[in-house]
Amino acid sequence: MGEKRLKMALIGCGRIGSSKHVEAIVKNSDVIEAVAVCDIVKERAEKCARSIEEKAGYLPKVYERYEEIINNEDVDFVAIATESGYHYEISMKFLKKDINVLVEKPMALSTKHIDEMIQTAKDNNVKLGVCFQNRFNPPIVELRKKVESGAFGNINYGVANIRWNRDKNYYEQASWRGTWHLDGGSLMNQCTHNIDLLQWMLGGEIEEVYGVIRNFQHPYIEAEDFGGAIVKFKDGKVGIIEGTSTIYPRNLEETLSIFGEQGTVVIGGLAVNKIQVWKFPDEDSHPFMELPDPDTVYGFGHVPLYRDFYEAIIYDRQPKIPGEEGRKAVEIVLAIYKSALENKPVKFPFEFDSTQMKNWSGHYVVRG
């Protein structure tokens, strides 16, 4: 490793760009150099550049318009951490110029856009990776090994619980949050990680999804703050999703439970980072039962995710989470939205776009 240091640019220096992406850039300094950072709010890009200088010892160039990076810089890849509703447009610009793209989750908000992104990456022979960094959480890696080894026997069903809190202040910090065209609600924003893990462990094709969404207590956002869904897989497995940003008074848990004939695993903690139950015929516990909660719910996964993306480019292989994988959780959330809108199960495959939710009105005040 380390044959070549790849040049990259970070586009979007907000909450996640300036924290986890900067950390991933800095901690992969032996193989990655951020030659440019970009934000339409120049001060944010400048702050990111200074942060990289402080931690990695070099100062990336600052851009306000990402189009200028295409013209002025010779980058191997870009990482896109702007508002979700802009991922498609920005990704397409770079993919079409044969530049590899690592895009934040959700990769886009429409099945059509996602398919176009995947196809364009293929046509131009470049990598498209998606930031579902929780797949790199050590307990999740352990669970995945058990799934792949067949240790569960038949897996029957799995449950994803996301019981978090987002208050008015969180939504006031950035007006795009909770809008249908740039974000979606708690399912699309906060819950896609665990929905991705659930579908990854259960695997296989989906037959249909039935979903209910509500906006219980965030009247100032357009989208949902609660979602419940049943995901029926073609092979009979069932996924159950319960996700919300309404939990009083703060984040409670993000938990993934997988139940099979000969195995039960529950991984919880604040952000699927702690094994709570680990039962197989010859195993009753796991060393990762004692892991501490990470500093934020974002965990530490961006560092290995960047490493994997680097290796994918260098060794010309698919990243561990390519567009095809990044698509799956978004597809489930879009199916839940469509199901809630039409009040009936949604059969796969289907096409949908979060902006089709703009006339949805599920703002509830639950009484007695």
Ligand X SMILES: NC(=O)c1ccc[n+]([C@@H]2O[C@H](COP(=O)([O-])OP(=O)(O)OC[C@H]3O[C@@H](n4cnc5c(N)ncnc54)[C@H](O)[C@@H]3O)[C@@H](O)[C@H]2O)c1
Q: What is the DSSP letter of 292?
A: P
Which is nearer to ligand X, 184 or 260 (by Cβ)?
184
Minimum gap (Å) between residue 236 Cβ and ligand X? 31
Coil, strand or helix: which one is 59? Answer: coil
Q: How far is the CB of 41 from ligand X (least distance, A)?
A: 4
- The residue nearest ligand X at its CB is 14
Q: Which is nearer to ligand X, 27 or 232 (CB)?
A: 27
According to DSSP, residue 43 is labeled H
Q: Which residue, 36 or 213, has its beta carbon nearer to ligand X?
A: 36
DSSP string, 180-237: TTTT--TTTTTSHHHHHHHHHHH-S-EEEEEEEEEB-S-TTSSS-SEEEEEEEETTS-
Q: Toward ligand X, which CB reaches closer, 8 or 38?
A: 38
CB nearer to ligand X: give 83 or 222.
83
Nearer Cβ to ligand X (28/278):
28
Closest CA to 114 of 339, 347, 355, 322: 322
**Least distance (Å) from ligand X to the CB of residue 232?**
27
Q: How many other β-carbons are positioned within 10 Å of the β-carbon of residue 164?
A: 22
Secondary structure (DSSP) of 22-37? HHHHHHTTTTEEEEEE
32-38 and 6-11 beta bridge pairing: parallel
CB of 62 to ligand X, least distance (A): 11
Residues in contact with 111: Cβ distance below 8 Å, sequence separation at least 6, in sequence order: 327, 330, 331, 334, 350, 351, 352, 353
Q: Contact residues for ligand X (CB under 6 A)?
A: 11-17, 38-41, 44, 66, 81-84, 86, 104-105, 131, 133, 174, 189, 298
* Phi, psi dihedral angles at 75 (to 5 degrees): -105, 145
Nearest residue (CB) to ligand X, 54 versus 64: 64
Minimum CB separation of residue 261 from ligand X in Å reads 33
Residue 2 CB, nearest distance to ligand X (Å)? 26
139: preceding bond cis by omega (within 30 degrees): no
- Least gap, CB of 354 to ligand X (angstroms): 12
